[in-house]
Structure 1
Amino acid sequence: MPQRFSPGRCARLIVKIGSALLVDADGSIRRDWLATVAADIAAAHAAGQQVVIVSSGAIALGARRLGLSKGGRASLEDAQAAAAVGQIALSQAWAELLGSCGLTAAQILLTLDDLEDRRRYLNAASTLDRLLTLGAVPVINENDSVATAEIRFGDNDRLAARVAQAARAQGVLLLSDVDGLYTANPHRDAAATRIDEVTHIDARIRAMADGGSASGMGSGGMASKVEAARIAQAAGAHLAIASGQRPHPLAAFLAGGTGTVFVADPVRGARKSWLAGRLTARGTIHVDAGAADALARGASLLAAGAVTIDGRFTRGDVVEIAGPDGRFARGLAEYDAADAVRIAGRRSAEQADILGYAPRSALVHRDHMVLL
């Protein structure tokens, strides 16, 4: 399974490193360990693989320098201040260690909106592509200094998966303080066993995930990693959760190390991949069972199948579609919310009189919709 992430089979690889691996308990950078990661990246680069790093650690590093309690996470203001200070130290460390291996580091700080807004997403994708073709190693983190509680990724696992979409990567490697997904939390249940491969994320797989961060430094947990896997799979990228607690963790994993691999889905079109990976939506269209079945077979969402409309959205905004069993699709609205409310449940023949103009073919067209 690790060979899916080798240079010969994975031209572009996203490597995410969590705070618990990068920062010691006293808040200092683990430079000796990080130097082995830089050496692994240099070896992958020499073998023809382009690597993007998604690096946590800024808040933990800044908290130490500012003397903040709870690792800088006591409040949003503390986290923002800690990130502003820690990001400088983090970027400097990466630049020095990659530079010592003959590589050029490039820093990119992203917010949720940078990847949720289609135009900004395409700009980010273009920048990533140019940096990689020039031989640079992008080092990416969430821009925690300006992110708010309402508008943020909140963890770098999902950020890594979204970066994989933007970079058109074939693989994502989440280096963690655990070596994969277990049937239960291995820190609490000695009988828990690791799952080697996941081809489909369902309720059973989600139930195994634990939302807590074992180290207390990070903001994620296994739940965020499983959600990241869903995003990566939809983008056509394999995702692995593997231990980073040894020196040269990337080389160790590729040499046959253990972990959990989430197998990629068939590659979708670029727009549908972006839709599947989004974390926010402007509203929800609730549909009846008949409409849900029709959409599952590839149909567009007609107004007649809509039951209720929630949210405030305009034409072109992303909306979610929920059936009797919950959310199952996402797409671009063909109507403003107000007009969608007016024609929900109505047949096509009635819509022109209600709207005062010729109705469009669907509330959400199948060409701009993706099943989740």
Structure 2
Amino acid sequence: MNHRRSALQGVRRLVVKIGSSLVTAQGKGLDEVAIAGWVAQIAELLRNGVQVILVSSGAVAEGRARLGMSERPRTLHALQATAAVGQMGLVRAYERAFAEYGLNTAQILLTHEDVAERSRYLNARSTLRTLLEWGVVPVVNENDTVSTDEIRLGDNDTLAALVCNLLEAEALIILTDQDGFYSRDPRAGDGAELLHDISLADPRLDAMAGSGMGTLGRGGMRTKLTAARWAARSGASTVIAHGRCEGVLTRLLTGEPELGSMLHADDVRLGARKRWIAGQLQSRGTLQLDAGAVKALQGGGASLLPVGVRAVEGRFSRGDLVRCVDPEGMEVARGLVNYSAEEVERILGAPTREINDRLGYVGEPELIHRDDLALSAH
């Protein structure tokens, strides 16, 4: 059975991410011929009824080329200024290329704050949905010009996965300068096998991904694996493929089995609210759970009670996002907490019936209600 064909045929909403090394011709300015090629394929998909959201890297790299920089800036303000210069050329190139097919484009710049605050998250979703309904191609990038270390998303692989969750896209295609996902780093010598079909449940994936990073972008294969896991929360499978393969996008959507690597989503699909919770990149604190609480959460359907918490870290208020970790420190879940850090410290390990005795009141019987808790991907 061709699992790839069954996963990709019939897709009606797709996120495509194109990496910096592809867009910028090895750092020597935008490769407008290559951009025109991807745009032609996207235009064909649109004619066939597929909605496409494009996440494009390249603003910083294009800014470097325009400013004659030999190295990526090291300071935040220099990076932001470089991105501001490069964003102008990047958007203009896509606008010009899509106009050849009578298609309108829209620039969407996001920061972590836009997906961390629920009302802004919903507003971003509504705006993107409206653009798709109008037949407009959204061109999405991180708002590097205003992002700080505290609010930055980190890389466009992450951004593409969050957009996938935001819009419940059925698939994520990551175009890069590698043929796909290998069993080991192909640059390290012989013996690297290109894996065409992979389950995200495969426990060997993290070791295979390594930690490589290119000179132009921020995301190596490990970030692509993380992105695939996040995209799977909305039921989307991820394909990693070389962006310069002829007709790569149209060929992938026919289910061509030997092109790139497909990372298959698990069967578990999170609801919209839990996808938002799971997709938050920053937390205000950490709750260390005992083994019994971990088992209850991972068994499915349980809320987190004070009796299962051993320690608390950080300063947080009611309603903030916190991480839940097992006795070894591995994250198992994250959610919106019903008590402040000071209150949690006073009710650690307490049965629900003792909350009133320790606090003098009962806000909620759970530290985190199951509706406000999402298990973490591994």
Task: Give the alignment's TM-score, normalised by structure 1.
Answer: 0.95
Q: 2:29, 2:66 within 8 Å by CA — same for their partners in 1? A: no
3-state secondary structure, aligned to 1:35: helix
Deviation string 1:182-213 (CA, Å, 9 cap, x unpaired) is 11111223211122223234652111113222
Deviation string 1:207-254 (CA, Å, 9 cap, x unpaired) is 11132223x111110011011011001121111111112343212333
Give the match for residue 136 of structure 1.
136
Give the match for residue 120 of structure 1.
120
Matched, 1:314 2:313: no
3-state secondary structure, aligned to 2:186: coil
Shift of 1:365: 1.0
Change (3 A) 1:344 1:202: farther
3-state secondary structure, aligned to 1:79: helix
User: Which blocks of at least 5 consecutive residues in structure 2 are unaligned?
Assistant: none
Following the alignment from structure 1 to structure 2, what is the Cα–Cα distance between the partners of residues 218 and 73?
Answer: 12
Shift of 1:82: 0.8
Change (3 A) 1:202 1:279: farther
Matched, 1:361 2:365: yes
Q: 2:19, 2:176 within 8 Å by CA — same for their partners in 1? A: yes
3-state secondary structure, aligned to 2:312: strand
Following the alignment from structure 2 to structure 1, what is the Cα–Cα distance between the partners of residues 101 and 7?
Answer: 21
Matched, 1:336 2:340: yes
Give the match for residue 269 of structure 2.
267
Following the alignment from structure 2 to structure 1, what is the Cα–Cα distance between the partners of residues 366 and 164?
Answer: 31
Shift of 1:88: 0.5
Question: Once superposed, what is the RMSD of the aligned Cα atoms?
Answer: 1.6
Amino acid at match of 1:237: A
Change (3 A) 1:77 1:247: farther
Shift of 1:320: 1.1
Give the match for residue 188 of structure 2.
188
Give the match for residue 252 of structure 1.
251
Give the match for residue 222 of structure 1.
221
Shift of 1:141: 0.5
Residue-pair matches, total: 369
Change (3 A) 1:40 1:360: same
User: Which blocks of at least 5 consecutive residues in structure 1 are unaligned?
Assistant: none
Q: 1:5, 1:13 within 8 Å by CA — same for their partners in 2? A: no
Task: Give the alignment's TM-score, normalised by structure 2.
Answer: 0.93
Give the match for residue 235 of structure 1.
234
Change (3 A) 1:343 1:245: same
Q: 1:14, 1:53 within 8 Å by CA — same for their partners in 2? A: yes
Q: 1:209, 1:226 within 8 Å by CA — same for their partners in 2? A: yes
Matched, 1:324 2:327: yes
Q: 1:304, 1:348 within 8 Å by CA — same for their partners in 2? A: yes
Following the alignment from structure 2 to structure 1, what is the Cα–Cα distance between the partners of residues 357 and 127?
Answer: 48
3-state secondary structure, aligned to 1:261: strand
Percent pairwise identity: 43
Amino acid at match of 1:204: R
3-state secondary structure, aligned to 1:187: helix
3-state secondary structure, aligned to 1:350: helix
Amino acid at match of 1:104: N
Give the match for residue 292 of structure 2.
290
Shift of 1:2: 4.5
Q: 1:39, 1:248 within 8 Å by CA — same for their partners in 2? A: no
After TM superposition, which residue ranges in structure 1, 4 or more long, deviate above 6 angstroms? none
Shift of 1:347: 1.9
Amino acid at match of 2:313: D
3-state secondary structure, aligned to 1:152: coil
Following the alignment from structure 2 to structure 1, what is the Cα–Cα distance between the partners of residues 55 and 233?
Answer: 19
Shift of 1:359: 4.5
Following the alignment from structure 2 to structure 1, what is the Cα–Cα distance between the partners of residues 296 and 225?
Answer: 28
Shift of 1:281: 1.3
